[in-house]
């Protein structure tokens, strides 16, 4: 049985991950409207990853005989003025999610809930990758975004990204 604080934080994370999917679909929508289908694809794949993350937390709670409380998902409310804005917002959001995962990990550590800590190890590693990817996208946009031919090539690179489901065993 999970300690109450750990259970509550895991439950909240289900909803935070679904919000992340909404946020990345909003980014994708922005890039679609700009004709940057590769960037749009990159964030659609991100949205799929976030939905799967939510479902991993969902299943973990059920595997521990806990009820999942689904809350309303907030509407993303950001306004973008340039193509760099979603990329910077994405990095900021990934840093926020990292802090959330760290908070759950800390609560599990305090409760000596080693099973939950082991479950979260994958997410800790994943968040490191997510932050690196966000930094890399920003760096590439800073290098190439102002040149139309280079932006076209970057957009084509991002269009090639395909979704791969996580291989975490619960």
Are 107 and 120 a contacting pair, CB within 8 Å?
Answer: no
101 in any annotated domain = yes
Per-residue pLDDT tens digits of the chain, which is 170 residues long? 899 999 999 999 999 999 999 999 999 999 999 999 999 999 999 999 999 999 999 999 999 999 999 999 999 999 999 999 999 999 999 999 999 999 999 999 999 999 999 999 999 999 999 999 999 999 999 999 889 999 999 999 999 999 988 876 66
Looking up residue 94, the CATH number of its domain turns out to be 1.20.1260.10
Identify the residue whose tokens are 């950001």: 78
169 in any annotated domain = no
**CA end-to-end span of the chain:** 15
Q: What is the pLDDT of residue 116?
A: 98
113 in any annotated domain = yes
Domain with 155, as residue range(s), is 22-45+81-159
CA 19 to chain CA centroid, Å, is 9
Q: What is the pLDDT of residue 169?
A: 61
Number of domains in the chain: 1
137 in any annotated domain = yes
Count other Cβ atoms within 10 Å, centred on residue 118.
10
């Amino acid at each position: 049985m999970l300690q109450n604080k750990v259970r509550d934080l895991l439950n909240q994370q289900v909803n935070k991950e679904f919000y992340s999917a909404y946020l990345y679909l909003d980014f994708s929508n922005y890039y679609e409207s700009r004709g940057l289908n590769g960037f749009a694809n990159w964030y659609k794949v991100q949205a799929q990853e976030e939905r799967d993350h939510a479902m991993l937390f969902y299943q973990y709670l059920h595997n521990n005989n806990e009820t999942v409380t689904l809350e309303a998902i907030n509407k993303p409310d950001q306004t973008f003025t340039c193509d760099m804005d979603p990329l910077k917002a994405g990095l900021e959001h990934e840093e926020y999610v990292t802090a959330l995962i760290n908070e759950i990990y800390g609560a599990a550590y305090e409760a000596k809930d080693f099973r939950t800590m082991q479950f979260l190890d994958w997410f800790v590693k994943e968040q490191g990758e997510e932050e690196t990817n966000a930094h890399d996208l920003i760096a590439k946009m800073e290098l190439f975004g102002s040149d139309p031919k280079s932006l076209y090539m970057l957009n084509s690179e991002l269009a090639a990204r395909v979704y791969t489901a996580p291989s975490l065993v619960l």
